[in-house]
Amino acid sequence: MARVCQVTGKKVSSGNNVSHSNRKTKRTFKPNLFKKKYYLESEDRWVILKVSTSGMKTINKNGLEATLKKAKAEGHITQY
């Protein structure tokens, strides 16, 4: 899974560069992704996830286990 957040499902999107003269050329918007290591207490092991900054905020707010369960149900992650 290249450039896809495993928590939120954010991925590369496309749009236009618009110049001062209003000419449009294609460009890509990339998500702000990081490889982050989290400790999963229930399984007593470390998990490495590729997450966006908004995914990190979600983990901090809801907790790691609940977030992983929801991400798996939505199909963003197959195993962790």
Question: 20 burial class (0-12, 13-18, 19+ CB within 10 angstroms)?
Answer: exposed
Query: For the domain 13-74, what is the CATH superfamily, name and number?
Result: Ribosomal protein L28/L24 (2.30.170.40)
Tens digit of each residue's pLDDT (9 = 90 or more) over 16-71 = 999 999 999 999 999 999 999 999 999 999 999 999 999 999 999 999 999 999 99
C-alpha to C-alpha distance for 31 and 9, rounded to whole angstroms: 10
pTM: 0.85
Residue 17, classed as helix, strand or coil, is: strand
Structural domain boundaries in the chain: 13-74
